[in-house]
Amino acid sequence: MVSTDILAKITTWKSDIFDAETQQQLRDLEAQGQKELLEAFYKDLEFGTGGMRGIMGVGTNRINKYTLGKSTQGLSDYLHSSFPNQPISVAIAFDCRHNSDTLAQVVANVFSANDIKVYLFESLRPTPELSFAVRKLQCQAGIVLTASHNPPEYNGYKVYWNDGGQLVPPQDKELIAVIDALQYQDIRFEPKPEHITKIGAEIDQEFIKSTIQNATILQKAGARDDLKIVFTSLHGTSITVVPETLKKAGYSQVHIVEEQKTPDGNFPTVVSPNPEEPEALTLALALAEKVGADIVIGTDPDCDRLGVAVRNNEGKMELLNGNQLMILLTALLLEKWQSEKRLNGKQFVGSTIVSTPMMHALAESYDVRCMVGLTGFKWIAKMIKDHPELEFIGGGEESFGYMVGDNVRDKDAVASTLLACELATYAKASGSSVYNELQNLYIDLGYFHETLISLTKKGIDGLAEIQAMMTGFRNDPPRSIAGQAVVMIEDYLTSKCIDLTVNREEELDLPKSDVLIFYLADGSKIAMRPSGTEPKIKFYVSVTAAVETHEELQAAKLECKEHVAAIVADLNLN
């Protein structure tokens, strides 16, 4: 049964506030039945970990010209109040998804109608280039129309502030309050074309130049010519800048997966355009065998995440997970900074509470501080903003994102792709390999094994199920998991850390978030959180073992894998 509140929303959307096309879409939706109607209106789209993301269509819980128009009107009002009596400008980029270009134009029109200067990219561009453009053009804010690696029916809206990072508290809550106070009739859709400027090649060249300056490590001329790279854009935006960046950096053997080269919001050659999923790199791995590649790299549609495969000791391509890639890239940067005698106690690396604890061990080995924030690169960007006295070296998270330096204040698969190639070139020129470098890090720092369990729960019922799971673990936490006692619980929703060994409670000094973390007596860690951008609940399992030799490392891999399986089974996550 549709509630009175939802019926009132639907009635509003039938009024002449909304255009004829929207009203026809609503009639079509009503013809599909109450379930579809309820899904479209039972809530308003919310800002999550990566901005606002949802299925495209009519309704308050959908991405359309009115939900984005309302958000943009609210952001326009918020910008005018935040920067009174100042000229205000914003930059707008969009990806390859269906309607991204037209929705970007709607957003540009609303900003211009509010006397805000708009720099609108002429065609699709990577998300990290938008972050760069905000700072380069000295804008007060930026917008990207993207849903990252979500299915084709999704789109989204990410908001950046003048530091090039995404909005964080308290600004996000302040903005949401402004948006919620608006009515749909308050949206100014009529553009002022004189306020809209198209941008493109000139920003591309500045972005590529900055990326090469920031992410090149090698000094030896000609070494890059020996590296064979297979690259796939997975039908996304990276094709616009990554090949040119690699070429200008000196990489001549770049083999592009032609079947996935053309931007296409249907993502026709993959089940999901997500480099976290091994299936997404199937064509790239096949090409790697054909050309004898050293490294395979694939980026997601908006080019902020990357998946990497390298050859193992048997010569077979092996996919790295996000934690492994983060450790390898950070180790390379730390080694570079140390060799240049730039480490003086005023540097830091960044990570998140659900990523590998190995980042702490790595940073400690170089006497560098490791800062940890909530999930999402907006928190790493905030670290940079909050600590101007410190230099940011690099940082990442388990979900295949990495940020090199602070020219871009978000995860950046352009710079990370280049840095990964630098790593592979350095290893090959040294008679080693990326795989060997990772094994050596395990022997030096200990073996860390991580697994992500992601459970999809769609719709209203799925949301209730996710909430029930979190409530169950929160109100009745396990005392032991897989035979190991739970020794500490961190609850970021209540900001409490409970040390069960001494029955002591302390305050957590990070913002509130629906995240629970259990620490076991043997050093294992289990984190859980609802996704901020997808209908999923995620469980992050990390186990570790001390090793001193390659033989011990092989045994530890098997033991840790079995331990993870036991944890997953005990928590009933299969």
pLDDT of residue 170: 87
CB atoms near residue 341 (< 10 Å) = 7
Prediction pTM value: 0.95
Given a contact cutoff of 8 angstroms between Cβ atoms, the answer to whether 307 and 281 are in contact is yes
Which of the 8 DSSP states describes residue 272?
Answer: -
Q: Concatenated DSSP letters for 313-343?
A: TTS-EEEPPHHHHHHHHHHHHHHHHHHTT--
Q: Concatenated DSSP letters for 354-407?
A: TS-THHHHHHHHTT-EEEEESSSHHHHHHHHHH-TTSEEEEEEETTTEEEESSS
Q: CA–CA separation, 419 vs 429, rounded Å?
A: 15
pLDDT of residue 49: 59
Q: Please, which residues have CB within 8 angstroms of residue 291's CB and are 6 or more apart in sequence?
A: 228, 230, 255
Q: pLDDT digits over 124-179, tens only? A: 999 999 999 999 999 999 999 999 888 999 999 999 999 999 998 888 889 999 99
Closest CA to 298 of 228, 246, 234, 211: 234
pLDDT of residue 50: 64
pLDDT of residue 2: 64
* Residue 478 vs residues 486, 506, 526: alpha-carbon distances, Å: 7, 19, 11
Given a contact cutoff of 8 angstroms between Cβ atoms, the answer to whether 422 and 332 are in contact is yes
Closest CA to 216 of 430, 391, 395, 420: 420
pLDDT of residue 558: 96
pLDDT of residue 218: 87
Catalytic machinery residues:
148
Question: Which residues, given as ranges, of the chain have pLDDT below 70?
Answer: 1-2, 48-50
Q: pLDDT digits over 319-357, tens only? A: 999 999 999 999 999 999 999 999 999 999 999 999 999
Given a contact cutoff of 8 angstroms between Cβ atoms, the answer to whether 379 and 397 are in contact is no
